[in-house]
Structure 1
Amino acid sequence: MCTVTYIPQPEGSFILTSNRDESPLRSPENLSLESHHGRTLLFPKDKGAGGSWIAASDDNRVACVLNGAFVKHKHLPPYRKSRGLMLVEYFGFPSVNDFEKRYDFEGIEPFTLILVEGNRPFEIRWDGRALHHKILEPNEMHIWSSATLYPPEVQEKRLMWFNRWKEEASDFSLESIRAFHLHGGEPDPWNGFVMNRNDKVRTVSVTSVVQEPDGFEMIYGDLLRNTEKRMKLAFREALLRARPSH
């Protein structure tokens, strides 16, 4: 997995969308709302290791992981922990900086992790030896493609498709973004945004996280079952403001 876009919205909000390219056997049917590390998380729960590739929290944070760092690496199991469980554990730290300093990344397979805290997006890449940190421009659009599935020349082609869509799109609404993730680029069963490599690895879902004034909405489009699930998660601060005083 995957293909991920970050699209800024009016008034400083954003929409983060992920196409998950994975074995169909690991694709969940529903969204989960669970308590982890004192925070409420909203995410599609992986049927393999029990973690997730994308999650939102009630303290206004979002995380999304892609397999691989910069280039395709050699798969050398066993690994200490899955990348999906690492993503969930990120929310146990108060900030990106604290997570980078205190989390033990040794024994975790290389990854690219997109984090948004409030309206500040970050990119963390772990190549198996070192951590690479990048602060992203919140008012710019970004796209990522998994290094394990898409070599540099294919990533460049996908970036070209993305740039063409940015130039031609009449708006960047949720509907427009999801249409791009489903139908953008060119028909290519091996490298398209919706791909299928002999049913061993295929695009199984399209998940969007929409930041709203008082919380997040997650839209989970299950391409295997042809269903769509939506769920909202209120920010903790919004819940406190709404609570009647005595």
Structure 2
Amino acid sequence: MCTVTFLPKGASSYILTSNRDETPKRAAHVPQAYEVHGKEVFFPKDPLAGGTWVATDKKQFTLCLLNGAFEKHHHKPPYKLSRGIMLLDFFKYSNVQRFVDQYDFGGIEPFTLILIEDKGNLSATELVWDENNLHVKSLDATQPHIWSSSTLYPEAVRAERRHWFKLWLETHDTFVQQEIIDFHKTGGKGDEWNDFVMNREGKVQTVSVTSIEKDSDYNMVYEDLLS
């Protein structure tokens, strides 16, 4: 939930890949199908809160969550509910606009939520909740994007990571799922604190990589980096 890339592959094809940076004690269940608000949704489950950081219904929507808004915030529990549950609550709604208009984000810790929608042509939306306001931004779904969590990476580091991604893009005319997964596992400069696969003295580290490719069908790859 802390490093995310989006790669477009055509009018309705894409690859979304996420590195989860978390305490290694907070392992997740491997992805499988769950019934969520009457819909079949595929995601790796966080056993602590029951939510997730990445999910797809393999029909129309793929969502990915990052902790934090624009800058690092002060952690002020208790919060109303887990951000990972909020992500799953999206599937109560028929479209992004209804979720934006009707969901009560008050009392939730700051987050950034990426929503990819396929209705024949791709659309992408970024929601940023800063504890007081919801910032809604339409993204260009024909262009690659990268995000890094503001709770772990200050702006200077986020900018450096955008540069690594830019260099990778310059050597890739076509996008292959395994190649972007490999980049998520090797990107960086040998800095354990800030590389794509990070480790901060075992307290917080990259515990998994999840990649969802939508082409003629959906393919979800999940790699547990701890085991």
TM-score category (smaller protein): over 0.9
Cα 1:101/1:11, change in 2 over 3 Å = closer
Q: Distance in 1 between matches of 2:147 and 2:81?
A: 23
Q: Distance in 1 between matches of 2:176 and 2:190?
A: 23
Report the CA distance between 1:169 and its aligned residue: 2.8
Report the CA distance between 1:29 and its aligned residue: 4.0
2:8 maps to 8
Alignment of 1:1-246 (within 5 A): 1-118=1-118, 119-169=122-172, 171-213=174-216, 215-225=217-227
Q: What do the CA deviations read for 1:165-186 (whole angstroms, capped 9, x no partner)?
A: 1112353211111111011221
Preserved contact between residue 162 and residue 185 of structure 1 (Cα < 8 Å): no
Report the CA distance between 1:148 and its aligned residue: 0.3
Q: Distance in 2 between matches of 1:137 and 1:47?
A: 34
Preserved contact between residue 29 and residue 46 of structure 2 (Cα < 8 Å): no
Report the CA distance between 1:12 and its aligned residue: 3.0
Taking structure 2 as the reference length, what is the TM-score of the superposition?
0.96
Q: Distance in 2 between matches of 1:8 and 1:117?
A: 12
1:47 counterpart SS class: coil
Preserved contact between residue 26 and residue 46 of structure 2 (Cα < 8 Å): yes
Cα 1:52/1:25, change in 2 over 3 Å = same
1:158 counterpart SS class: helix
Q: Distance in 1 between matches of 2:159 and 2:90?
A: 30
Preserved contact between residue 188 and residue 194 of structure 2 (Cα < 8 Å): no
Preserved contact between residue 39 and residue 58 of structure 1 (Cα < 8 Å): no
Unmatched segments (≥5 aa) in structure 1: 226-246
Cα 1:11/1:131, change in 2 over 3 Å = closer
Preserved contact between residue 12 and residue 215 of structure 2 (Cα < 8 Å): no
Q: What amino acid is aligned across from residue 85 of structure 1 in structure 2?
A: I
Q: What amino acid is aligned across from residue 40 of structure 1 in structure 2?
A: E
Aligned-residue RMSD, C-alpha: 1.1
1:231 maps to none
Divergent runs of 4+, >3 A: none
Q: What amino acid is aligned across from residue 219 of structure 2 in structure 1?
A: E
Preserved contact between residue 33 and residue 43 of structure 1 (Cα < 8 Å): yes
2:65 counterpart SS class: strand
2:92 counterpart SS class: coil
Q: What do the CA deviations read for 1:29-77 (whole angstroms, capped 9, x no partner)?
A: 4212111111100000002101000000143201100000000000000
Unmatched segments (≥5 aa) in structure 2: none
Q: What do the CA deviations read for 1:140-175 (whole angstroms, capped 9, x no partner)?
A: 000000010000000001011111111123532111
1:26 counterpart SS class: coil
Compare CA radii of gyration and give the structure with the larger one.
1
Q: Name the stretch that deviates more: 28-37 or 173-182.
A: 28-37
Preserved contact between residue 29 and residue 222 of structure 1 (Cα < 8 Å): no
